[in-house]
Amino acid sequence: MGVLLLCTIHPIFSQELSQENSSPAKESSFGMAIGLRVSSFGPGGEIIAAVTPKIHLRLGGSYFSFAYQQTSDALNITGDNTLTLGSVSLIANWQFLKSLYLSAGAIYNMNKNNLVGYSTESFKIGAITVSPEQIGELSYTIKSGMPVAPYIGLGIGRTISANGVVSFAIEGGIVYQGSPKVELTATGMLSPTASDEQRQLLEHNVASMTIYPMVAAQLSFRIF
Amino acid sequence: MKTNKITIYSVLAVFMLTAVFTGLSCKKLTNATDGAKLIIDYNLIKTTIDVSLYDAKTGELIGREGDKNVRITVTGSDKGGIIDATGMQPANQQYSTQRGMLGLAIVPDNQYAPTAMRPVAFNVVASLDGYLATSQHVSISAPGKNFVRINMVDIENPPAGVTVGKQDGVGNVVGGSVQETVTVSTPGSKAALTLPAGVVLRDADGNPLEGSLNVLMAHFDNTVDEAMAAFPGGAMSNVTRADGTNSDGMFFSAGFVSIEIRDAAGRQAKTIENGTLELVSVVSPLTYNPEAQRNILAGDAVPVWSFDEATGMWSEEDGTTIVSIGGNLQMTAQLAHLSYFNFDWFWTEYCTYGAEFHFELDNPVCDCFPMYGVMKRQSDNAIIKYVYFWVCGSDPVYTFYAPANLPVYIEWDASYSPAITIDPGSQPTYIENLCSSTPVTVILHANIDPQTTTVTADISAYCASQPDVIIRPSFSVWFHKEGDWNWRYASMTNGYAEICGVEIGATYYVFIYYNGSYYYEPFVVTQASYEYINYELPADVCSDVFGL
């Protein structure tokens, strides 16, 4: 759940980062571009449609998964931690200046962190050998409280070039995800760990994590 | 241009405010797992066997005052799967009880998972100085709570139907050889043993007995309940047949004699050479012959069985024939070794899955409760076995390895569950065939004493070595009210227990067995609810019992 502990990053844009090449100017105000982006939801891509010169619609998606292990001395429990970042976004840009735009939209938030704890070794209590199967498994998942979350952001640069082919943008914003939800399940000897009381405690601990920061860098190519 | 500037400033202002609020929320963030614990249910043991040892005459638990220890040895094919209630397994499977009780369990391992097709079978062999050694065959076919009652015969104070003859300084033995023929008998000549001159007596290690002999002989009258209740091995048993095969079944007894011969040095005779001893046992004419389906008559053939005290198993010997001498029926056996001898027909009809029992209560009671009873044959009113059911709500209770096609009845004893009375229509409960698919229904009444209440206990504990691990213990205790020797049974599962019929303000004695030791402590009940939350356990309990 480390990513959910991240605080919002507030980029301060102090310089013009937009770059447009000198490709032939486009006559029509309507256009489309495809973009490659890296964001706090992971790497992904976008399709950008310039509806008017200042209004651009963006449909995008991103995904990233990272697994690592943790261990606990208690009952030799090993934890397989899987951090998943991902989103499907539908965002509208208002390009109110040549290289500055405001974004708003909705994001289907697929971020979650899942920890599966299990014992890898048997241990003995008197004459009883307790197997890993008897010890059981504990699964702890934390995810967005709102699957579809509102988003607002400010970008520098352009997600679709005004009159060229290539454009570049850096964007920062916030996703209101609501209080995260915790799912807690357990089997075997660990079953009582998954009590409703424990789940509520864990949700309380993360209840203030209602904002998820969006930081993105994007390279787009206008296709017409 | 002015409009554009206002727009820019507005947008930046919105972001700055957002940043401030977001920053505040960041400060509130704590470790997502703060306060959360790893809570462990130590309910590993799914099958328990609570063994109670009673004096066959007084009906009291042996050593209930803490003054006697009964030696218990677990024998049989599955002895390796038997542990004590806390998971310990002493060397040689030898346990020592106090206050007449012992908590055993089946090790939670797939190798010893009890099923109807593969029951866990073993013998509980009990011995205590001054008492006749005895045993009980136990066969468990499903996980759950099991109760075993063993009645032991006090040599100096035997129950009705048991005649004990003790004669010291009998005869003369040189190099194991009996010098002159000696006959000893029980009072009333219920049984007589003749040691012919020339036979050689040796102990289990092959050492010859020397000098005069001390002979202890007990005769069990098969028509007397108290005597049959003390039947070693139980009437339901696993036996070794004459062809060497093992068989489950039930004895129809025609009498039982135990014989113990020692020399002055304490050597106990086990083997006999250069001849046999002659045992004559009187048999009651009221004895039921199941093969002829009538009372016994002269000329009836009866198999003879000997008992191995070490293993708790009966073995089939040569048979004998009933004769009538002076109007008394008697039988004679030639003994090639010394043991307990039993004259019995063996009923081998049984079913793996027996009838299910439904205990119907007019009002619900809290928690589960035991139902004790004694099962008797309808044909001759002979005790077959004690039955113990652990009743939980309206759940049916299943029976396994029941004798088939044998009409029986069960006389219930509700004294161990004070909140329960038996409906007269169900006392006794008649059952024509324990292997029938027709359920057996027993009507009960909830008899809530207004002076009593239900006490709950909630325990969560931890070990100093692992403070983030919370232990929810599972264990069983016996307890009785001060001045009342009716022991009751209560169990805690996953740290929670409900105990019915407890009197606030009364003193109860709680009894628990742990790691070879017994703890018997008074406890004054002062409230209806007890919570022991975050209770720190002693380090030895953490390491020995919980592996932490």
Q: How many domains is chain A partitioned into structurally?
A: 1
A125 Cα to chain B: minimum distance (Å): 5
User: Which ranges constitute the DSSP H helices of A165-212?
Assistant: 196-205
Burial of B462 from C-beta contacts in 10 A (0-12 / 13-18 / 19+): buried
Task: Judge whether B53 and B150 are in contact, CB under 8 Å.
Answer: yes
d(CA A189, nearest CA chain B) in Å: 5
Q: Which regions of chain B carry the CATH code 2.60.40? A: 48-142, 358-448, 456-545
The hierarchical CATH code for the domain B358-448 is: 2.60.40
Q: State mean pLDDT over B117-141.
A: 89
User: In which residue are the tokens 């994001």 written?
Assistant: A107
Residue A61 lies in a domain: yes
**Is the CB of B3 inside 8 Å of chain A's CB atoms?**
no
A41-50, A183-192, B91-100, range with the lowest pLDDT: B91-100
| Mean pLDDT for the stretch of residues B516-520 | 71
Q: What is the pLDDT of residues A126-152, one digit of tens each?
A: 788 888 888 899 999 999 999 999 999
Average of pLDDT values for B219-244?
85
B529-536 vs B452-463, strand pairing mode = parallel
- Asked if B547's CB is within 8 angstroms of A123's CB, the reply is yes
CB contact, 8 Å: B326 with chain A?
A: no
Query: How high is the pLDDT of residue B41?
Result: 84
Check pLDDT > 60 for residue B369.
yes
- Please state, in angstroms and rounded to a whole number, the distance separating the CA atoms of residues B183 and B433: 45
Q: Which domain holds residue A38?
A: 31-121+128-222
For residue B26, the chain A residues in CB contact (below 8 A) are 7-8
Q: Count Cβ neighbours within 10 Å for each residue of B274-289 and write b for 16 or more, e otherwise.
A: eebbbbbbbbbeebbb
State the average pLDDT over residues B260-284: 93
**Where does chain B hold its CATH 2.60.220 domain(s)?**
162-347
Strands B350-361 and B440-446, sheet pairing? parallel
Could you say which of 3.40.50, 2.115.10, 3.30.410, 2.60.220 is the CATH number of the domain covering B162-347?
2.60.220
Residues in Cβ contact with B182 at an 8 Å cutoff, skipping those fewer than 6 apart: B170, B171, B194, B195, B213
Phi, psi values for residue B530, rounded to 5° = -120, 130
The CATH number covering residue A174 comes to: 2.40.160.170
Cβ B23–A174 below 8 Å, yes or no? no
Identify which of B540, B357, B396 has the alpha carbon closest to the alpha carbon of residue B465.
B540
State the average pLDDT over residues B195-220.
94
Is the pLDDT reported for residue A8 higher than 50? Answer: no
**Beta-carbon count within 10 A of B137 CB:** 24
Give Cβ neighbours of residue A11 (< 8 Å, ≥ 6 apart): A170, A172, A215
Of these ranges, B95-104, B315-324, B360-369, the one predicted with the greatest mean pLDDT is: B315-324
**Domain B48-142: CATH architecture, name and number where available:** Sandwich (2.60)
Nearest residue, CB atoms, B18 vs list A134, A174, A189: A174
In chain A, the percentage of residues whose pLDDT exceeds 70 is 86
Q: Is A71 on the interface with B (CB under 8 A)?
A: no
Q: DSSP assignment of B263-275, as one string?
A: ETT-PBP-EEESS
Q: How far is CA B115 from the centre of its chain?
A: 18
CA distances from B127 to A72, B72, B96 (A): 48, 7, 10
More confident residue, B92 or A23: B92
Q: Which residue has the higher pLDDT, B313 or B459?
A: B459
Q: Does the distance separating the beta carbons of B39 and A198 come in below 8 Å?
A: yes
Q: What angle do CA B389, B54, B102 make, to 5 degrees?
A: 70
Residue A1 confidence (pLDDT) above 70:
no
More confident residue, B103 or A64: A64
- The amino acid sitting at B505 is G
Q: What sign does the CA torsion over B487, B150, B44, B394 have?
A: negative
**Per-residue confidence band for A215, with pLDDT thresholds at 50, 70 and 90:** very high
In a domain, A109, yes or no: yes
Torsion of CA B54, B59, B60, B62, to 10 degrees: -30
pLDDT of residue A74: 62
Alpha-carbon distance B275 to B204, whole Å? 17
Give the burial class of A212: count Cβ atoms within 10 A of its Cβ; 0-12 exposed, 13-18 middle, 19 or more buried. buried
Comparing alpha-carbon positions, the chain B residue that sits nearest to A194 is B39
Q: Chain A to chain B, count of Cβ pairs less than 8 Å apart?
A: 126
**pLDDT digits over A74-118, tens only?**
667 788 999 999 999 999 999 999 899 999 999 999 999 999 988
Number of Cβ atoms within 10 Å of the Cβ of B252:
25
- pLDDT recorded at residue B26: 46
Q: Can you list the positions of beta strands (E) in B365-474?
A: 369-377, 383-391, 397-403, 408-413, 420-422, 429-431, 440-446, 452-463, 466-472
More confidently predicted of B204 and B28: B204
pLDDT of residue A75: 62
ipTM (interface pTM): 0.74
- What is the pLDDT averaged over residues B163-188? 92
A51 found inside a domain? yes
Query: pLDDT, tens digit, for every residue of B338-361?
Result: 888 989 998 888 887 788 999 999
Confidence (pLDDT) at B517: 66
- Conformation bin of residue B28: beta by default, left when phi > 0, alpha when psi is -120 to 50: alpha
**Mean pLDDT score across all residues of chain B:** 85
Task: List, as one string, the DSSP characters of B11-64.
Answer: HHHHHHHHHHHHHHHHHH---TTTT--EEEE-----EEEEEEEEETTT-PBTTT
The reply to whether residue B494 touches residue A192, judged by beta carbons under 8 angstroms, is yes
As a whole number of angstroms, the distance between CA A196 and CA B545 comes to: 27
Residue A2: the pLDDT is: 34
Around B527, how many Cα atoms within 13 Å sit in the side-chain half-sphere?
6
To which H or E segment does residue A133 belong?
Answer: helix A132-135
Identify any residues that bridge with B367 across adjacent strands, giving them in sequence order. none
Give B195's strand partners: B182
Query: How much is the pLDDT for B301?
Result: 95
Residue closest to A153 by CA, chosen among A58, A15, A63: A58
Q: Please name the residues in contact with A27: beta carbons below 8 A apart, sequence gap of 6 or more.
A: none
**Comparing C-alpha atoms, which of B58, B62, B233 is closest to residue B133?**
B233
pLDDT of residue B547: 67
What is the CATH T-level fold of the domain B456-545, as seen in this structure?
A: Immunoglobulin-like (2.60.40)
Q: Is the pLDDT at B22 greater than 60, yes or no?
A: no
Query: Residue A27: its pLDDT value, please?
Result: 45
Q: How many Å is the Cα radius of gyration of chain A?
A: 23
- pLDDT confidence band for B30 (50 / 70 / 90): low
Percent of chain B with pLDDT over 70: 92
| pLDDT per position as a tens digit, B389-400 | 888 888 888 877
